[in-house]
């Protein structure tokens, strides 16, 4: 099957815009035009972890005295794909929804045309949902009886993006110029929290979608590391999607911790830096201050000697008070080894209870005889995680790991980190103080994965170096994902890295559920244009998605008279054929023009096919056309049989419905002979 416009008799297509305005649908009656009025547009949005589903119900009213065909030009949210269709009819006198089947696009179009025609002993009433472009669908529903309402539903699926600890989607304003959509939002899991434009909302929150909104979902108690892998055979290659999402908090401050904070007060540290070190230490201790944590803290200062600021271990709140009021005098000497030995002594003298932590704030300017490798045994003996922090004075707080410093290996040996950072002498206001607490929280618990390495075993990609392009540091609440085509299947997603300097490893096997989902969602991604037609068919059928090669057809038992079908020149409309997805002579990678594109041949093929469908095969006529860029400016039909007005009208509508591909550029005139 070629990805052609495959245009059929489409009398009503000329009434519709070739592209609806951004965020706006078009709704018309084939016969009644604007007398077919939309009366309801409701969207039930279910927000799930990683994706969202929108069940869209449209209701129209036929204001003319004949059965009419409702025609919708639908504009989709970015990345959305259609995965279902059903039409509301009657069965044994009661309302019943009739679900659609996903069919090959040309077969669905031909079946729709057949079912909507005049005659037939048992008329059937169909609805057709077809692809017009990556953000555009055509929906046709027949019949809408005179003076009655007709409802139809379709389903859209969207991927959600994990950012700042929430799954997020963006919705444009949705609906037509006459009627905006009414949106109701629910979470797939009742205890997950919903947000609209950053504000908390309750389950079942309703709003009118006459403006763009962000809908977000915060999972209740998410796993610290969420991995997902989809590996889907396309028949020729494999489609692979992988994702890593870090929870809003990947760790917690330990309970019953014993903490030693040591501040370097040697003369190489000036008064401003000493004040900055104090503020950094206080911000660190605030994270242990909750009495429920039960932390015990000892605060020391050191130069060539080590001094205690209190009587051994005290509560975190008392330690904060001691450090706030302490008079720190600078002296000569920087005996880091003595300070570390004193911390070890304090920690090992007390009861064996929760986690052990040492934070040493220092400029690491010490005597040449003191070397980090000589202190490793002491640090390890303490059984504490040791952080070394070089903090200088600046107005804005800042902190990052420094794995290149010669002393970094001492901290790493305990799964701690050597940090470089800044802090002010004092916080200018509470907002700055809260910002400082957030910065120095990373000293109290890991808040990111560093030295991150992501790989999918088994994949053979066009770019084998893809893995090195990913960021090597990922903060909690953030995620990484990718969608690629591979010549081989992905067998396992693996994630390696460190939190502080503790190694982590997580892995995931391919998920069948994710494979089904991404078989559909690929049609909302840029990767769709790299698929061949057979690959599109394989993926669309697995995912149940409308695509350039598939359409949904829903059929209910007919209730109309057999004389109330669509005439040949009326039938077809916006959905018959593929439209918008491509054109003869074009590659489906195509958003651009083809190589050596024969415009005359393209026009002849499109228009002669339409002539045959209108019943003109074997009869001669000519079309004169004027085009500019991708716009058709003029259509004139000549030499057509004067006694067949239906044939002339059908062909004229066919010509006006043509969507010119990108190969047309300048102002040009054309003569096409129809045979």
More confident residue, 296 or 604: 296
Tell me the CB-side half-sphere exposure of residue 474, using CA atoms within 13 A.
30
More confident residue, 445 or 599: 445
Query: Confidence band (pLDDT; 50, 70, 90) for 224?
Result: very high
Average pLDDT over residues 149-167: 98
More confident residue, 562 or 449: 449
Mean pLDDT, rounded, of the chain = 89
- Beta 81-91 vs 94-99: how paired, if at all? antiparallel
How is residue 284 written in tokens?
């660190």
Burial of 320: CB neighbours in 10 Å, binned 0-12, 13-18, 19+: buried
Query: Confidence band (pLDDT; 50, 70, 90) for 350?
Result: confident
Could you give the CA distance from residue 457 to residue 450 in angstroms, rounded to a whole number?
21
Query: Confidence band (pLDDT; 50, 70, 90) for 609?
Result: confident
Q: Which of 325-339, 418-432, 598-612 has the lowest mean pLDDT?
A: 598-612
Measured CA to CA in angstroms, residue 159 lies from 138, 273, 584 at distances of 22, 48, 31
- Beta 181-187 vs 36-47: how paired, if at all? parallel
pLDDT of the residue at 21: 42
Please give the backbone phi and psi of residue 86, each rounded to the nearest 5 degrees, phi first: -150, 155
Is the pLDDT at 396 greater than 90? The verdict is yes
Measured CA to CA in angstroms, residue 376 lies from 380, 386, 390 at distances of 6, 10, 19
Q: ∠ CA 141-145-146 to the nearest 5 degrees?
A: 130
Is the pLDDT at 584 greater than 80? The verdict is no
More confident residue, 377 or 648: 377
What are 49-76's pLDDT values in tens digits?
999 999 999 999 999 999 999 999 999 9
- Nearest-10 crossing angle of helices 336-349, 372-381: 10
pLDDT of the residue at 353: 82
Query: Which residue in 570, 565, 574, 555 sits closest to 27, CA to CA?
Result: 574
pLDDT of the residue at 560: 56
Average pLDDT over residues 440-460: 96
3-state secondary structure of 77: coil
Q: Please name every residue paired with 559 in a beta bridge, in sequence order, or none if there are none.
A: none
pLDDT of the residue at 18: 37
How is residue 216 written in tokens?
């977000």
The answer for residues whose C-beta is within 8 angstroms of residue 117's C-beta and 6 or more apart is: 565, 566, 568, 571
pLDDT of the residue at 124: 73
How is residue 539 written in tokens?
């993926």
What are 454-481's pLDDT values in tens digits?
999 998 887 877 877 888 999 999 999 9
Query: Which residue in 389, 125, 398, 405 sits closest to 264, CA to CA?
Result: 389
Query: Confidence band (pLDDT; 50, 70, 90) for 4?
Result: very low
* Tokens 């019949």 sit on residue: 143
Burial of 7: CB neighbours in 10 Å, binned 0-12, 13-18, 19+: buried
Q: DSSP of 251-318, one letter per residue?
A: --PPTT-EEEEEEE-BTTS-HHHHHHHHHHHHHHHHTT--GGG--EEEEEEESSSEEESSSS-EEHHH
What are 523-547's pLDDT values in tens digits?
999 999 999 999 999 999 999 999 9
Q: Please name every residue paired with 499 in a beta bridge, in sequence order, or none if there are none.
A: 502
Could you give the CA distance from residue 607 to residue 611 in angstroms, rounded to a whole number?
6
């Amino acid at each position: 099957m070629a990805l052609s416009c495959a245009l059929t008799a489409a009398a009503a297509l000329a009434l519709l815009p070739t592209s609806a305005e951004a965020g706006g649908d078009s709704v018309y009656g084939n016969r009644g035009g604007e007398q077919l009025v939309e009366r309801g547009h409701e969207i039930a949005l279910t927000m799930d972890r990683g994706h969202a589903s929108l069940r869209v119900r449209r209701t129209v009213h036929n204001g003319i005295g004949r059965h009419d065909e409702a025609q919708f030009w639908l504009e989709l949210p970015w990345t959305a794909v259609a995965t279902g269709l059903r039409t509301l009819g009657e069965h044994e006198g009661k309302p019943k929804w009739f679900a659609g089947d996903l069919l090959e696009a040309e077969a669905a179009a031909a079946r729709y045309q057949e079912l909507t025609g005049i005659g037939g002993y048992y008329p059937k009433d169909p609805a057709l949902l077809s692809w017009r472009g990556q953000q555009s669908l055509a929906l046709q529903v027949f019949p809408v009886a005179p003076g009655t309402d007709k409802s139809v539903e379709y389903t859209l699926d969207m991927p959600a993006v994990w950012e700042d600890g929430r799954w997020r989607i963006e919705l444009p304003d949705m609906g037509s110029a006459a009627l905006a959509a009414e949106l109701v939002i629910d979470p797939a899991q009742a205890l997950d929290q919903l947000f609209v434009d950053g504000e908390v909302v309750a389950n079942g929150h309703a709003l009118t979608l006459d403006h763009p909104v962000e809908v977000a979902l915060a999972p209740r108690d998410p796993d610290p590391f969420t991995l997902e892998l989809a590996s889907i055979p396309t028949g020729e290659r494999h489609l692979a999607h992988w994702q890593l999402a870090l929870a809003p908090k990947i760790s917690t401050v330990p309970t019953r911790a014993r903490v030693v904070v040591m501040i370097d007060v040697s003369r190489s540290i000036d008064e401003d830096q000493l004040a900055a070190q104090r503020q950094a230490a206080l911000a660190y201790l605030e994270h242990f201050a909750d009495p429920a944590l039960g932390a015990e803290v000892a605060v020391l200062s050191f130069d060539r000697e080590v001094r205690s600021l209190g009587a051994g271990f005290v509560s975190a709140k008392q330690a904060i008070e001691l450090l706030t009021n302490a008079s720190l005098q600078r002296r000569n000497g920087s005996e880091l080894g003595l300070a570390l030995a004193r911390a070890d002594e304090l920690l090992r003298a007390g009861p064996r209870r929760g986690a052990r932590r040492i934070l040493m704030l220092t400029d690491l300017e010490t005597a040449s005889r003191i070397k980090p490798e000589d202190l490793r045994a002491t640090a390890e003996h303490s059984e504490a995680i040791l952080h070394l922090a070089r903090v200088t004075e600046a107005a804005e707080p800042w902190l990052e790991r420094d794995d290149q410093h010669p002393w970094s290996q001492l901290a790493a040996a305990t799964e701690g980190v050597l940090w470089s950072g800044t802090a002010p002498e004092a916080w200018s206001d509470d907002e700055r103080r809260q910002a400082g607490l957030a910065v120095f929280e990373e000293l109290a618990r890991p808040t990111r994965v560093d030295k991150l390495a992501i790989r999918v075993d088994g994949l053979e990609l066009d770019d084998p170096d893809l893995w090195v392009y990913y960021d090597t540091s990922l903060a909690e609440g953030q995620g990484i994902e990718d969608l690629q085509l591979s010549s081989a299947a992905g067998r396992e997603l693996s994630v390696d890295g460190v939190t502080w300097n503790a190694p982590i490893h997580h892995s995931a096997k391919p998920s069948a559920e994710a494979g089904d989902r991404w078989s559909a969602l690929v049609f909302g991604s840029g990767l769709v244009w790299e698929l061949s037609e057979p690959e599109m068919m394989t993926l669309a059928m697995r995912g149940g998605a409308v695509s350039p090669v598939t359409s949904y057809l829903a059929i209910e038992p007919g209730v109309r008279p057999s004389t109330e079908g669509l005439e040949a020149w009326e039938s077809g409309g916006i959905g018959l054929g593929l439209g918008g997805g491509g054109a003869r002579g074009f590659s489906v990678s195509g958003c651009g023009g083809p190589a050596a594109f024969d415009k005359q041949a393209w026009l002849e093929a499109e228009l002669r096919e339409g002539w045959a469908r209108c019943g003109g095969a074997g009869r001669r006529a000519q079309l004169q056309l004027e085009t500019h860029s991708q716009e058709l400016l003029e259509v004139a039909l000549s030499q057509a049989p004067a006694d067949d007005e239906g044939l002339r009208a059908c062909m004229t509508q066919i010509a006006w419905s043509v969507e010119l591909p990108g190969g047309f550029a300048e102002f040009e005139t054309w003569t096409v002979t129809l045979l």
